[in-house]
């Protein structure tokens, strides 16, 4: 089989790329290891930057998002038992975020691609990439127990952190930055109306907690835990009890609980591999970088990479100019490092460390107090949260 762009991975990065390319008549085949049901059900992030929502809308996959997604104009910071609203829209000239689950974005993209005759091969695991420095790369993959080849002009490695693409780059080519944060998030999806209209990022002496949502009936909540924490130690009642303590305020705010539909533990890591290109292989999304989830940037970076890559490939096919492709890695990395810093800043400001000094604790509270009381500091948070337009 042959195509123009072989895309490995049907996550937000791979699917957005395939969709944008198709709109410009460029052919791609997406190889996805898992089955369709699995990728459509996997519960992940849920905050779309204004620019991400705009891109989906402008490219014709925003209709259900606009019907079912929730537009938010602010978030709450909660610490020292007090509530502080960060008015995102007021601070950013009217920009907003959209609350819409990543798996809903994935569903919409899959449906749109298949309806347009696009090829997504589910249950197709890429095993090896060959000829990456030639003009005719080959992806070797396996589907239904059979080994096959996909020949192409370029390979887009959109196969997430554990995929084969980054691993196919010879040793010594990449510079890797990797930081494992000394905590994780225990996340739940619960069948209970959210106790808040806007997301709450809470810092308490017991650690961080986040109240997010998916719909008027479904809440998504997280609490900071140890990286080696076991789910078995967290029966539902303990989770709700711990969340209640971390969200407690002086004004008697209450957290409603309900049946927990899903639970999981996510380790927190900051990772960047650069450059995001090796010959005819271009990495996008989690394959090249991971951010801790505190800044809600992972999905937005994946879609952002896909947009930059699509533009570069469209220009290359149309005019033969490789200028944008040559700039791809640097263009993306500038935004990736901004997001990496923002995620690190939010994470250190909101989490507690196991052995921290009194001065570290007080510095963190001083930082939170500054963000909650200074328009300049709050604007820094707000413009990064809704997505910078200049980077």
Residue ranges binding ligand APR (CB under 6 A): 8-14, 31-34, 39, 44-45, 102, 125-126, 158-160, 163-164, 285-286, 298-299, 302
297 is catalytic: yes
CB closer to ligand APR out of 9 and 74: 9
Shortest spacing between CB 229 and ligand PHB, in angstroms:
18
User: DSSP label at 198?
Assistant: S
Q: Tell me: does residue 47 bind ligand PHB (CB under 6 A).
A: yes
72 is catalytic: yes
Give alpha helix (H) positions in the chain: 12-22, 36-41, 50-58, 63-68, 88-91, 102-115, 236-247, 298-319, 323-350, 358-373, 375-386
List Cα–Cα distances, 264 to 41, 52, 221, 241, in angstroms: 14, 26, 11, 17
Q: Tell me: does residue 188 bind ligand PHB (CB under 6 A).
A: no
Q: Tell me: does residue 69 bind ligand PHB (CB under 6 A).
A: no
181 is catalytic: no
Interacting stretch for ligand PHB, rule CB under 6 A, among 10-18, 43-51, 133-141, 370-378? 43-51
CA–CA gap between residue 356 and residue 342 (Å, rounded): 22
Shortest spacing between CB 34 and ligand APR, in angstroms:
4
222 is catalytic: no
Q: Per the structure block, which two tokens stand in for 162?
A: 């554990």
Compute how many residues bind ligand PHB; rule: CB under 6 A: 10
CA–CA gap between residue 129 and residue 136 (Å, rounded): 11
Question: Max CA-CA distance within the chain?
Answer: 65
Per-residue binding string, ligand PHB, 273-312, x by CB under 6 A, is --------------------xx-x----------------
Residue from the set 52, 112, 212, 300 that interacts with ligand PHB by CB under 6 A:
212
Neighbours of 247 (CB within 10 A): 23
Q: Which residue, among 240, 234, 335, has the nearest Cα to 288 in the 3D structure?
A: 335
Which of the residues 201, 222, 278, 328 is marked catalytic? Answer: 201
Between helix 298-319 and helix 50-58 the angle, nearest 10°, is 40
Q: Which residues are the active-site residues? A: 72, 201, 293, 297, 385
Interface ranges with ligand PHB (CB under 6 A): 45-47, 199, 210, 212, 220, 293-294, 296
């Amino acid at each position: 089989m042959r195509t123009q762009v072989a895309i490995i991975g049907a996550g937000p990065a791979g699917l957005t790329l395939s969709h944008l390319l198709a709109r410009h008549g460029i052919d791609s085949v997406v190889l996805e290891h898992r089955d369709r049901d699995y990728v459509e059900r996997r519960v992940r992030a849920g905050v779309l930057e204004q620019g991400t929502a705009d891109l989906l809308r402008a490219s014709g996959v925003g209709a259900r998002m606009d019907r079912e997604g929730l537009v938010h104009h602010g978030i709450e910071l909660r610490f020292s038992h007090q509530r502080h609203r960060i008015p995102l829209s007021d601070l950013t000239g009217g920009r907003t975020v959209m609350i819409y689950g990543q798996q809903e974005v994935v569903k919409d993209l899959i449906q749109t691609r298949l309806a347009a005759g696009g090829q997504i091969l589910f249950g197709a695991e890429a095993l090896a990439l060959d000829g990456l420095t030639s003009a005719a790369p080959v992806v070797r993959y396996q589907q239904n127990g059979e080994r096959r080849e996909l020949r192409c002009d370029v390979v887009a490695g959109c196969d997430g952190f554990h995929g084969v693409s980054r691993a196919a780059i010879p040793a010594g080519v990449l510079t890797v930055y990797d930081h494992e944060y000394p905590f994780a998030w225990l996340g739940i999806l619960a069948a209970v109306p959210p106790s808040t209209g806007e997301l709450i990022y809470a810092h308490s002496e017991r650690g961080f907690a986040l109240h997010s949502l998916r719909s008027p009936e479904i809440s998504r909540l997280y609490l900071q835990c140890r990286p080696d924490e076991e789910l078995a130690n967290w029966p539902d009642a303990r989770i709700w009890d711990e969340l209640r303590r971390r969200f407690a305020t002086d004004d008697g705010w209450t957290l409603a609980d309900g049946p927990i539909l899903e639970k999981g533990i996510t380790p927190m890591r900051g990772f960047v591999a650069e450059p995001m290109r090796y010959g005819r292989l271009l990495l996008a999304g989690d394959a090249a970088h991971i951010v801790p989830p505190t800044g809600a940037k992972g999905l937005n970076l994946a879609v952002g990479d896909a947009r930059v890559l699509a533009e570069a490939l469209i220009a290359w096919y149309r005019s033969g100019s490789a200028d944008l492709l040559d700039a791809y890695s640097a263009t993306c990395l500038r935004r990736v490092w901004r997001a990496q810093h923002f995620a690190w800043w939010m994470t250190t400001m909101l989490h507690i460390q196991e052995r921290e000094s009194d001065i570290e604790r007080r510095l963190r509270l001083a930082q939170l107090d500054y963000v909650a009381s200074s328009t300049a500091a709050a604007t820094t948070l707000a413009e990064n949260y809704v997505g910078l337009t200049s980077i």
